[in-house]
Homo-oligomer: A and B are copies of this chain.
Amino acid sequence: MRLSRYFLPVLKETPAEAQIASHRLMLRAGMIKQQQAGIYSWLPMGFKVLRRIEQIVHEEQARAGHLAIQMPTLQSADLWRESGRYDGYGEEMLRITDRQGRDMLYSPTAEEMVTDIFRAHVSSYKQLPLTLYQIQWKFRDEIRPRFGVMRGREFLMKDGYNFDLSKEDALHAYNRHLVSYLRTYERMGLQAIPMRADSGPIGGDYTHEFLVLAETGESEVFYDSEITDLTFGDREIDYDDVAQCQSVLEEFTSRYARTDETHDEAAFNEVPEERRRVARGIEVGQIFYFGTQYSEALGASVQTPDGSKVPVHMGSHGIGVSRLVGALIEANHDDKGIIWPEGVTPFHVGIVNLKQGDVSCDSACEALYRAFLDHGLDPLYDDREERAGAKFATMDLIGLPWRITVGPRGIAANKVELTCRRTGESEEMPAEEAVEKIVSIYAGL
């Protein structure tokens, strides 16, 4: 993309209403625009990041054998009356009446509807296991929406639901989700720590939240410092392998790690003192096993091998897709702006032309731009007639991980400058070498 043809409405001033870094930086970098309290439009660069996150989620869900569907945003109140949640859900549920006077609601989650799909079409254990998921807009009418997309009212969520014949099978689905979430977050460049959590209105005994450590996190967290040394890495996983998934779960959940909701001071004190950490975290996902709670209420049963009928065991599993954009920035920024991890950056590399209109600079930049496109990468070329300082400030603010600077002096010596946004380090090299280096970085992802 050429910046002269892009819509990147960066702000010079820091918006007064934004209390935390991600909200401030998303507004300043022209990623979002607030339309009402807790409701945002995603401008081109913000939407690009959202799509990259969505894409990673889809790829990792497919790898785990889960199937993508799409449920409507508006649901019938009757379905929620069947499960018994309609009256109890409280004011966060946005209730709507259509022109025929029928009660509807804007889906905050979809256990009822996905169970309705299941009961309409599945009747035998032979059709199990089954996991259906979607990435869809949800609405929760928060009384105090704040922190930008971190606690909005209309938000994008991945919500997945497993259906299994037995508790044992459903716990494998639980483990499979835990493993695939670890991979998902790591691909985005995030360390999200699974912590034992409270099940809240979804219900159930087994649940873990995934938390990203950040000073501005809403939850207080308590953990054994050894847990932050764990990485999933590039290990091969067979998602059908029950023992393998179980052992990953054990590896990542055997150390103490809890939020304030489930914190147990006595258990925490058993962690050696030098490894005890108290910090803050942002919740970016949660997994649940809740058994037959919804399948019984909604009549979702299957025939077993011996001919009897049993309600299926279920769980639900969420990733906060739009919230992740905020969490990524909270965990990756400095005074100058955002620092995107390579896995989710809106553009792979920025090209800064120090002397727009100079024939040799322009043609070097064009050649770089073409070379990246030919390699299937997505460069952002700042081809505006602006001072170098303004161009650098914009690049630092929007946080592309790599920048190539092209100036007349460098070009005369057949050199461009390659700068890493995270370290600030620069290196001079021929343009071809810079392209090769960038291409090899992204090829490794």
Residue ranges of A at the interface with B (Cβ–Cβ < 8 Å): 5-7, 9, 30, 33, 35-36, 39-44, 47-48, 50-51, 65, 67-76, 79, 91-92, 94, 96, 98-99, 102, 104, 106, 113, 116-117, 120-122, 127, 130, 132, 137, 139, 141, 143, 154
Whether B40 contacts A137 by the Cβ 8 Å rule is: no
Choose one: B41, B94, B99; the contact of A143 (CB below 8 Å): B99
Task: Check B98 against A41 for contact (C-beta < 8 Å).
Answer: no
The answer to whether B98 touches A70, judged by C-beta atoms less than 8 angstroms apart, is: no
Q: A35-B116, A36-B76 are in contact. Are A69 and B94 (CB under 8 A)?
A: no
Contact A47 B73, CB 8 Å, known A121-B9, A141-B99: no
> B74, A39: Cβ atoms under 8 Å?
yes
Interface centre among A41, A99, A121, by most chain B C-beta atoms within 10 angstroms, is A41
CA distance A33 to B106 in the complex (A): 18
Q: Which residues of B contact A75 (CB under 8 A)?
A: 35-36
Contact status B74-A47, CB under 8 Å: no
From A5, A7, A50, A122, name the one whose CB has the most chain B CB atoms within 10 angstroms.
A7
A–B Cβ pairs within 8 angstroms, 26 of them:
A7-B67, A9-B121, A9-B122, A30-B121, A33-B120, A35-B71, A35-B72, A35-B76, A35-B79, A35-B113, A36-B74, A36-B75, A36-B104, A39-B72, A40-B72, A41-B70, A42-B69, A42-B71, A43-B69, A44-B132, A51-B68, A72-B154, A73-B137, A73-B154, A92-B99, A137-B137
Instruction: State the oligomeric state as a number of copies.
Output: 2
**Cross-chain contact A117 with B36 (CB below 8 angstroms):** no
A298 to B91, CA, bound (A): 33
User: What residues of chain B lie closer than 8 Å to A5, measured between beta carbons?
Assistant: 65
Give min CB distance, A370 to chain B, whole Å: 16
Contact indicator A44/B30 (Cβ below 8 Å): no
Check B39 against A67 for contact (C-beta < 8 Å): no
Given A7-B67, A42-B69, A96-B96, 10 extra CB contacts under 8 A: A7-B127, A33-B120, A35-B71, A35-B79, A36-B104, A41-B69, A41-B71, A43-B69, A73-B154, A92-B99
> For A122, what are the chain B residues with a Cβ–Cβ distance below 8 Å?
9
Q: A41-B70, A67-B6 are in contact. Are A94 and B96 (CB under 8 A)?
A: yes
CB A256 to nearest CB in B, in angstroms, measures 37
CB closest residue in chain B, given A322? B70
Q: If A7-B130, A33-B117, A94-B96 touch, does A139 touch B70 (CB 8 Å cutoff)?
A: no
CA distance A40 to B40 in the complex (A): 25
